Amino acid sequence: MGLTIISETVSEMCKLKHSFSDGEKEFVVQFAFKSGDKSLTNQLIDELSQCEDGQESQSIMEQYAKMIDMKPMWVSQIENLLVSIEMYRIEEEKAINRLAEVLTAYGVDVTEEQVRRADAEEIKEKVNESRREQEEEDEERENAEQSEQYVPKCTLREPVL
């Protein structure tokens, strides 16, 4: 349940127009993971999004921190690592999806799964191959246009008397 609520929490925060500070983002995600309470986490997000300064948000975070059971330091560190891993996994997924979209838009036939499995050299090779094909097509098109434009003209004139 913990990692699922992190994903949901991050998506909820992204929906809002408010620009959360890094500390606020971390606190919200930590709170969601530790409490496991989605409605309380959403309430925290709403309250933080309405804050106008750092002091106000700090007091709200202190208030919500009291609601969480105090755990040994090593448990908190492990929870932090798990949260970080999940956040990086989400960002990696977004990056892979975006990379696949961009490559496809530029004519490189690659799926998200291929991007996920492939190494960087394999993708570079596909990009270079696609670029060479595009350059060859452009060159052929230019040659065809130039050959169509050149039409020999008759330069013979009738003699003037």
Q: Let me know if residue 152 belongs to a domain.
A: no
Q: Let me know if residue 157 belongs to a domain.
A: no
9 and 21: one domain? yes
Q: Let me know if residue 154 belongs to a domain.
A: no
* pLDDT tens digits, one per residue of 101-158: 888 888 777 788 888 887 777 778 888 888 888 888 888 888 877 776 655 565 666 6
Average pLDDT of the residues in 56-74: 81
* pLDDT in the model for residue 5: 77
Helices (runs of H) and strands (runs of E) counted in the chain: 7, 0
Among left, alpha and beta (phi > 0; psi -120 to 50; other), residue 99 is alpha
45 and 94: one domain? no
- Amino acid in position 147: S
Residue 85 confidence (pLDDT) above 90:
yes
64 and 81: one domain? no
Residue 161 confidence (pLDDT) above 70:
no
Six token digits for residue 82: 């798990």
* pLDDT in the model for residue 139: 87
Please state, for a pLDDT cut of 90, what percent of the chain lies above it: 6
* pLDDT in the model for residue 119: 73
93 and 119: one domain? yes
φ, ψ at 70 (rounded to 5°)? -80, 130
Mean pLDDT, rounded, of the chain = 81
The boundaries of the domain holding residue 41 are 1-70
87 and 22: one domain? no
* pLDDT in the model for residue 88: 92
13 and 77: one domain? no
Six token digits for residue 137: 């097509």
The total number of structural domains that make up the chain: 2
Longest CA pairwise span in the chain (Å)? 114
